[in-house]
Structure 1
Amino acid sequence: MITVKAPGKLYIAGEYAVVETGFPAIIVALDQFVTATISPSDTVGSIVSKQYQENSIVWRRQGDTMVFDNRDNPFHYILSAINLTERYAHELGRNLGVYHLGINSELDSVDGKKYGLGSSAAVTVATVKALCQFYRLPMDKNKLFKLAAIAHLSVQGNGSLGDIAASVYGGWIAYHSFDREWLHVQRQQTRLSDLLAMDWPALKIDLLTPPANLRLMIGWTGSPASTSHLVDKVALVKAKQRSEYQAFLRDSQACLQRMVAGFHAGDLAAIQTEIRYNRQLLQTLGAFSHVTIETPLLQAMIQTAEDFGAAAKTSGAGGGDCGIVLLDRAKDPATLRTRWAAQGIQQLNLNVHTVTDASITNFD
């Protein structure tokens, strides 16, 4: 039996802007995982996940037709990952087999609510990684990212794919999103194996080393949010609020450049300053796009952390899920935890996960 893991993630800064080609975000991989197991079968294969067996679907009305939105259903990411990886295997002359695929996720709460840790990305990466080992396919982190990114984008249709990058590369990363229009064109005319070997325009993934005195804390509101639907809403205002949106992009890019410089300099205070500024930019975006990024509970979580002397903001698309806090390790976080608990905010006891090269088996 083959067993592989892929970590969850949290966005630290650069949300929404990162969906545009070449714009940066900082993301961190966490030590909660999706585990994929795969074993050969002689007759009938199976895909089993105890977490996802009763996943709901969302639909809307288009005229008289029900149109289903499956972007929050992890099974569709699993099937897309299987389809893409087996196409890659077929191009490389592998005989396709029958197997049992098991998926086990730690990225949701015990009652099935999403923490916002990138479960769809992690399940995609874990599925691709398991099948690459099963078929003994040439694979490194760059190819794993690209294959999983194509599979994920095929289902979600939007987003930056930064959560895929975090799940593949691990640790703290500065991620610049690739040109998705270019990828769409190339997919029509380029063999998948050739596409994985190409340089993708604007894609850039750099590993960051956090300051030694940086402590990351994560607060969960207990209210899940849909990233894809929030990104859809912001996308609708791009043309109507063009000047405001372009100003947001420019300011976010400059903010992230200064924040990355803070990481390189080991300067926690500089990073905290940019975290607070990035929060202001997201508040401005929420105001002119009429998207609720900071819910009342997220606002309370952030304010409590700021009163404690930390820097805090929403993580990811907002609208629920998690907020992140960066504080000095010299400060005892016990008081902050107590205040959060009184507000109904749960601290997620997670740590940064580093992906070692040994976790990617290259059969080239």
Structure 2
Amino acid sequence: MITEKAPGKLYIAGEYAVLEQDCPAILVALDQYVRVSIKPSSSDTGLIHSKQYSQDSIHWVRRGSKIVIDNRDNPFEYILSAISFTERYCLEQKVKMDVYDLFVNSDLDSADGKKYGLGSSAAVTVATVKAILRFYGVQASKDLIYKLSTISHYSVQGNGSAGDIAASVYGGWIAYQTFNKLWLKEELASKSLSAVVGEAWPGLKIQQLVPPKDMELLIGWSQQPASTSRLVDKTNANKNNLRTEYAKFLADSRKCVLQMIRGFEEANIALIQKQIGINRRLLQHFAAINNIAIEIPRLTELIEIANKFGGAAKTSGAGNGDCGIVIVNKDTDIDRLRKEWVKNDILPLEFHIHQSELTY
């Protein structure tokens, strides 16, 4: 049995703007994981099983080099896409296909099955890609895992920046800029998968960041799950109507996040905190012009409590639920802050940073 894992993530800054090229975001990988285990099947039928969807296990058979699913209605779209593209890559490397059982388990949901908003679809995609490559004995760099995972994920989701994929692959704190999606679509239509993943992707930037040593990240969960894809769809539909406002939002977000990256490079917690506040205000304005709810009342409460204790706080990710993040320094009374959260039905999440692994 081979087991691979991929961490969940949270956005720190740059949400929504990161969907466009040249607009950086900052993300962090957390020590909450999706684990994918794989072993050769004992028969000519393979199994894909998730503890989170135990009643919906699906079976498949191999017809030539193709996997054929005999259960049409299943929650495994990202896993199946990761299998499809990773096996396509392996076939191009002249790897002989086999039949296997795949087992998935996740820390990225609460005990009662609610999502924290940690990028579970990205993490399961990355873990599946890693597990299959290892099962077939294919050596893989982080860049290859990122690219195969991104192509797999994007073919299902159809939108997004793939920043969550990058966080799951590279770990730690990262600054991220997305790639040219039209270019990728055209390349995939005209070249082999091996050729596309071997190319430099225009616009893509992934930079590891080192946090200041006295800085700490606090996470609060609103206990209200949100749908990133639906919010992104809605804002994408408004882009043409809000062209001038949208261009200003992108420029302001870019300036803010670049300043925050400088804060990391100079170990300047105060500068990072200042930019967190600026990014919050940018997102509030963005929400208003798009008529969407990013900062719901419970997230506003989370932020105001954190600000009262000297932290710098904002929503994380698409908003409308999920988590808020707070940047604090060593002088912050973290225990009192968290107790205040609990009084207001905000759940502190005791997660830590997933440190980047130097090698695959």
TM range (shorter): over 0.9
Mapped partners of 2:348, 2:120: distance in 1: 19
Residue 330 of structure 1 and its aligned partner are, at CA, apart by 2.3
Match of 2:228 in 1: 227
Mapped partners of 1:318, 1:260: distance in 2: 22
- Asked if the contact 1:18–1:177 (Cα under 8 Å) also holds between the matched residues in 2, the reply is yes
Mapped partners of 1:53, 1:41: distance in 2: 18
Mapped partners of 2:356, 2:332: distance in 1: 28
Mapped partners of 1:54, 1:307: distance in 2: 46
- Asked if the contact 1:52–1:75 (Cα under 8 Å) also holds between the matched residues in 2, the reply is no
The SS at the match of 1:199 is coil
Mapped partners of 1:32, 1:257: distance in 2: 28
Mapped partners of 2:258, 2:152: distance in 1: 29
Residue 356 and residue 74 in structure 1: after superposition, are their counterparts in 2 closer, same or farther (change >3 A)?
farther
The percent identity for this pair of structures is 54
Match of 1:28 in 2: 28
Residue 213 of structure 1 and its aligned partner are, at CA, apart by 1.1
Residue 136 of structure 1 and its aligned partner are, at CA, apart by 1.3
Match of 1:7 in 2: 7
Residue 264 and residue 134 in structure 1: after superposition, are their counterparts in 2 closer, same or farther (change >3 A)?
same
Deviations 1:1-29 (A, max 9, x none): 10111000000000000001221000000
Residue 138 of structure 1 and its aligned partner are, at CA, apart by 2.9
Mapped partners of 2:187, 2:227: distance in 1: 29
Q: How does 1:59-78 map to 2 (within 5 A)?
A: 75-78=76-79
Residue 53 of structure 1 and its aligned partner are, at CA, apart by 4.0
Does 1:114 pair with 2:115?
yes
Q: How does 1:86-165 map to 2 (within 5 A)?
A: 86-165=87-166
Mapped partners of 2:228, 2:21: distance in 1: 18
- Asked if the contact 1:74–1:123 (Cα under 8 Å) also holds between the matched residues in 2, the reply is no
- Asked if the contact 2:39–2:101 (Cα under 8 Å) also holds between the matched residues in 1, the reply is yes
Q: How does 1:323-362 map to 2 (within 5 A)?
A: 323-358=324-359, 360=360
The SS at the match of 2:53 is coil
The SS at the match of 1:139 is coil
Deviations 1:195-234 (A, max 9, x none): 1110000000000000111110000010000101010111
- Asked if the contact 1:144–1:168 (Cα under 8 Å) also holds between the matched residues in 2, the reply is yes
Residue 288 and residue 146 in structure 1: after superposition, are their counterparts in 2 closer, same or farther (change >3 A)?
same
Match of 1:234, as an amino acid?
A: T
Does 1:195 pair with 2:190?
no
- Asked if the contact 2:309–2:333 (Cα under 8 Å) also holds between the matched residues in 1, the reply is no
**What TM-score do the two structures reach when normalised by structure 2?**
0.94
Match of 1:18 in 2: 18
Residue 356 of structure 1 and its aligned partner are, at CA, apart by 1.1
330-339 or 77-86: bigger deviation: 330-339
Deviations 1:22-63 (A, max 9, x none): 2100000000000010000142110000113468xxxxxxxx
Residue 243 of structure 1 and its aligned partner are, at CA, apart by 0.6
Residue 278 and residue 214 in structure 1: after superposition, are their counterparts in 2 closer, same or farther (change >3 A)?
same
Mapped partners of 2:90, 2:320: distance in 1: 39
Which runs of 5 or more residues in structure 1 are unaligned? Answer: 56-72
Residue 154 and residue 131 in structure 1: after superposition, are their counterparts in 2 closer, same or farther (change >3 A)?
same
- Asked if the contact 1:12–1:27 (Cα under 8 Å) also holds between the matched residues in 2, the reply is yes
Mapped partners of 1:101, 1:190: distance in 2: 29
The SS at the match of 1:357 is coil
Residue 357 of structure 1 and its aligned partner are, at CA, apart by 2.6
Match of 1:41, as an amino acid?
A: S
Residue 329 of structure 1 and its aligned partner are, at CA, apart by 1.7
Deviations 1:120-154 (A, max 9, x none): 00000000000000111231000100000000000
Equivalenced residue count is 342
Match of 1:11, as an amino acid?
A: Y
Mapped partners of 2:49, 2:22: distance in 1: 37
The SS at the match of 1:168 is helix
Deviations 1:250-271 (A, max 9, x none): 0000001100001000000000
Residue 229 and residue 77 in structure 1: after superposition, are their counterparts in 2 closer, same or farther (change >3 A)?
same
- The CA RMSD over aligned residues, in Å, is 1.0
The SS at the match of 2:9 is strand
324-333 or 296-305: bigger deviation: 324-333
- Asked if the contact 1:256–1:274 (Cα under 8 Å) also holds between the matched residues in 2, the reply is yes
Match of 1:315 in 2: 316
- Asked if the contact 1:220–1:348 (Cα under 8 Å) also holds between the matched residues in 2, the reply is yes
Residue 288 of structure 1 and its aligned partner are, at CA, apart by 0.3
- Asked if the contact 2:187–2:196 (Cα under 8 Å) also holds between the matched residues in 1, the reply is yes
Residue 74 of structure 1 and its aligned partner are, at CA, apart by 5.3
Mapped partners of 2:243, 2:258: distance in 1: 23
- Asked if the contact 2:296–2:320 (Cα under 8 Å) also holds between the matched residues in 1, the reply is yes
328-337 or 171-180: bigger deviation: 328-337
- Asked if the contact 1:174–1:207 (Cα under 8 Å) also holds between the matched residues in 2, the reply is yes
Match of 1:39 in 2: 39
